[in-house]
A and B are shown apart, each in its own frame.
Chain A
Amino acid sequence: MNTTDYANPELAAVEIHGMSRSAFIARGALATGAIYGAGAVGSFVSQAFAQGGGGDVDILNFALTLEYLEAAFYQDALSKANLSGDAKKLAKEIGAHEKQHVDALTGAIKKAGGKPVAAPKVAFPLSNQASFLKLAEAFEDTGVSAYDGAAPMIKSKEVLGAAGSIVQVEARHAAAIRFLKGDDPTRGAFEPTLMKAEVLKAVKPYIKS
């Protein structure tokens, strides 16, 4: 597929390596975001979990994979995207949050008797502040959609509360990045979820495990 066919070419250029189910679903989520836009990610994720029949640990591990990805992204951006001013300040603050999300999710998975997935190996197309803002926007919007898509599948109220607590922070990140970039801080009055059968079909190769 030519990059001009992508709704979000930045996401398409992100590589996630790893063989865990979480890595597969994370690749699928990013592919969905790349092809259909971040709004489609929620429905992809909810369908992936509905199909897999996985429990809360499965969902927590997927969330952990995404948080690892985001944490690595901000760390990478601070070292090689020549950030300055508000962008640099935001990258530091948001990056610190993502690390705390990683720690919290790791703890939650362990306490639930599960095994936290390892951090995926990732590569980001980052060269300057503009590419940072573009990719940060895509990541944060994707993160919000992914959490909102997975949340109704969560069985434990405690885990749902944690996911809700994190997704609100991701939404705040997304709005701030978008505002800084000069974009509309919201994606409409409701976080978009596109219910499209073709979404799942298109990204099925990524969630095969």
Chain B
Amino acid sequence: MTHDPERPQGRSAIEQLDRDPASRAKFLKALGSTGAVAAFGAVLAACGSSNASSSSTTAAPANPGSSSSSSPTDMFGKGDLGIAGYALTLEYLEADFYKQVAASGKLSGKVLSVAKQFGDEEMQHVKALEGTIKKAGGKLPAKPKGKFPLKDEKSILKLAATVENLGAAAYLGQAGRIQDKDILAAALAIHAVEGRHASILNMVTGQDITPDGAFAVPADAATVLAKVKPFIAS
């Protein structure tokens, strides 16, 4: 097997990119022409690329030298465990939302079956994340009690779209912070499904399937937690 002649050159350039903030800025700028710069900037912000003030050890195995600054996910645990706890909290809310939607009797036909299916998939995310946290010896976060305005079909579907778009952005916002490759793979497998949910709900509510165009925009934990706060009763 012959090696790609591009590779050694490319690899050293990537390494250089990692070291050199100026070339990283240029790298981001190059993507700006296509509209990805906002997504990249937000990913970097979500990654907390500066102010690595926390010197405490992380519960999950972390790469030495990787900077992980403090994040709101720390309230759910250190490192990957905190991220999993944060994701689980969001999944609890999503699952509760769909449960309340199904019980409300406000949906019928095709949209009801879609809501039931999506709710079932959120429940599977809940179970998977609970399993991951328990296996890693972590503590499950408190189950939030959701309160959602469930007025009529139109507003419910709109809220569902908002919830799913936020969920997808939340997972994307954490991808760069996850240290463990298996947890990253699991998060990515869930992330894409949240994106699928969001796409369909956007479609049935007459919105663009990709509200941010060709590049999805991540949301950091502080933003997401602030946005879901009105939906948490206790």
Residues of A within 8 A of B (CB): 20-21, 52, 54-58, 61, 90, 93, 96-98, 100-101, 103-104, 107-115, 144, 148, 151-152, 155-162, 164-176, 179, 184-186, 188-193, 208-209
Contact = CB atoms under 8 A, between A and B. Distances in A.
Interface in B189-230: 189-193, 195-200, 202-203, 208-210, 213-218
A45 B18 CA distance: 24
A165 B218 contact: yes
A189 B127 CA distance: 11
A49 to B, nearest CB: 12
Interface stretch (B69-77, B117-125, B142-150, B151-159): B117-125
B10 interface: yes
B55 interface: no
19 contacts: A56-B11, A111-B31, A112-B17, A113-B17, A115-B6, A115-B9, A148-B189, A152-B181, A157-B43, A161-B172, A164-B172, A165-B215, A165-B217, A172-B199, A175-B200, A185-B196, A189-B125, A189-B128, A190-B125
Nearest to A113: B13
B103 interface: no
Interface of B: 1-2, 4, 6-7, 9-14, 16-18, 23-24, 26-28, 30-31, 33-36, 39-40, 43-44, 47, 49, 114, 117, 120-122, 124-125, 128, 168, 172, 175-176, 181, 184-186, 188-193, 195-200, 202-203, 208-210, 213-218
A107 B185 contact: no
Greatest chain A CB density within 10 A among B10, B30, B49 is at B10
A69 to B, nearest CB: 16
Q: Kindly list the 3 A-B residue pairs having the minimum CB-CB distance in the complex, ordered from nearest.
A: A113-B13, A57-B10, A161-B43
Contact of B44 (A109, A158, A185, A186): A158
Contacts of B172: 161, 164-165, 168
Contacts of B10: 55-58, 109, 112-115
Nearest to B28: A158
A108 B192 contact: no
A107 B33 CA distance: 9
A148 B121 CA distance: 19
Nearest to A192: B189
A209 B5 CA distance: 12
A151 B23 CA distance: 22
Contacts of B40: 158, 161-162, 165
A189 B193 contact: yes
B210 A169 contact: yes
A90 B2 CA distance: 41
A170 B215 CA distance: 9
Given A108-B30, A158-B27, A162-B40, A174 B196 contact: yes
Nearest to B123: A189
